[in-house]
Homo-oligomer: A and B are copies of this chain.
Amino acid sequence: METANLLELLRQIKSGRLTPEEGAARLRREPFEDLGYAKIDHHRWLRQGSGEAIFGSGKTSPQLIELVDRMAQAGSRNILITRLPAERADDLVAAGTPLVYHPTPRLAVAWPDPVPLTGAVVVASAGTSDLPVAEEAALTAETLGSQVTRLYDVGVAGLHRLLAQQDSLIAARAIVAVAGMEGALPSVVAGLVGCPVVAVPTSVGYGANWGGLAALLAMLNSCANGVSVVNIDNGFGAGWIAHSVNRTESPT
């Protein structure tokens, strides 16, 4: 219940147009979001500069078109659609949805409305096969408003490539470290910096990799401080968190 409406109700009680008993009954029946919850979402939007993202995989084109439409009408911009097959993107465009589509991470930004990029997020990835996940993270953070530096193909089997990028790493306010196979990159990166490192295991690999399990466990067991982990291949989640850290302002 909007504060305005609540006040109106209480004023009606005061004026006698509503008895206290009737008011109590109405307050009891009021859906919870109307007693303050809706504001939370509103706050969220204000703080984050973007609405919710849509998990595009497994949704039909009509479902996606309607979902985006409703969000856009509610004022959302830069609506991220993850894991969107190219054909679905074409359908959205054909339906008139303003859309930028990134084929490598299969990520779309509907109703794009670029925000100024600030801060410093680094997205580092171990191998070329990790690129789709890394790009999902980088584009997510950029769409939300973070300045992103990409350090790709800096796997731990060729340390010099990573060490040559120390300046970028040290300057970062948040780092996304993407790696498949043995998933060692986040540990090495976190050993070089002081900011939070969001580790993304990828399903890149074969055999005893078991769809990313090896990298996931490695990252969860990182011996370096500052590493937290998101789901396998969840570039979006990591980009979201990195931006969330990056946009943090000095405490007041």
Known: A181-B223, A221-B205. A32 touches B251 (CB 8 A): no
- A120 CB → nearest B CB, Å: 7
Q: Are A63 and B163 in contact (CB under 8 A)?
A: no
Q: Which of B37, B187, B209, B213 contacts A160 (CB 8 A)?
A: B37
Q: Chain A, 191-206, contact with B by CB distance < 8 Å: what is the 0/1 string?
A: 1111110100101111
Closest residue of chain B to A244 (Cβ to Cβ) is: B196
- Which residue in chain B gives the minimum CB-CB distance to A185? B184
A47 neighbours in B (Cβ, 8 Å) = 194
Identical chains bound together, number: 8
Q: Which of A15-23, A93-101, A107-115 interfaces with chain B?
A: A15-23
CA distance A41 to B164 in the complex (A): 15
Task: Verify B21–A7 contact, CB threshold 8 A.
Answer: yes
Q: Which residues of B contact A33 (CB under 8 A)?
A: 160-161, 163-164
On whether the beta carbons of B226 and A229 are closer than 8 Å, the reply is no
A3 to B24, CA, bound (A): 8
Q: Does A27 contact B (CB under 8 A)?
A: yes
A166 & B229 in contact (Cβ 8 Å cutoff): no
> Could you tell me if B182 and A207 are in contact, using CB atoms closer than 8 angstroms?
no
Q: Is A170 on the interface with B (CB-CB < 8 A)?
A: yes
State whether the Cβ of A214 lies closer than 8 Å to any Cβ in chain B. Answer: yes
Measured CB to CB, the closest approach of chain B to A79, in angstroms, equals 13
- Digitize A11-53: 1 where CB-to-B-CB distance is under 8 Å, 0 elsewhere: 1011010011101100110011101111011011001100011
